[in-house]
Structure 1
């Protein structure tokens, strides 16, 4: 296993990768949910940015919980399912945080669930595309993962033992 400094660096990169993807997915999902008929100037750029920032913060918190409970070193499909759930929850949390006053009866649930669904769908696509990334020519067999980090960095982050 890599040295402790390398593990901390890998974990930091994992947090950044997950938060970045969550932010990007929520940002574009919010723009898409804002309507494609609107001109570029009429798209909800400020609102999308606020939701993306909220989703990134929420992703960091949820990833920290995942690391603290040691639910990181799992196979591809459970890892992807956890990432999908976290993206959905991050999107919801960001929408709740962006609401001026959260009232269950007047909250715009349809738009919030549309954004969460679109963000989760894009997370699924990203995870599957990351899984099918071809292995380098000099690599030994590697287990697929839904991360866009280099395989060794991902393994160091989640605590997997590197292959020989």
Structure 2
């Protein structure tokens, strides 16, 4: 079964992801994001999954993931997913050109980021509840110092 796939040019991919064209080109130069096709004239074309990978790269970098680990993440995901982003059930360990040691380090980093995210999500939810209790419309009630310390 053949799937009809639409491709993005560098500029289209950048626009969809909300980044500059130069950002996409920079990530391509660093092999963080690779084109899925290159036209005869040399124009890079990116499949639908590249948009998700680019957004994920931006998020991972914002969360402090080093470039090398971000590259490993993209390599791993490209090896286990097709151009549309569907999980490939037929992938094998040989499809992933990353050492076991680097995969273990990546796994440890992702767990640390996930744990940090869970803590922050809990803190933000608590702060949101505190704000919701104290503010209604333009009316603000004055919190006691004990209540203020409860948000931290």
State the TM-score, normalizing by the size of structure 2: 0.29
State the TM-score, normalizing by the size of structure 1: 0.28
Radius of gyration: which is bigger? 2
Structure with the higher fraction of residues in helix conformation = 1
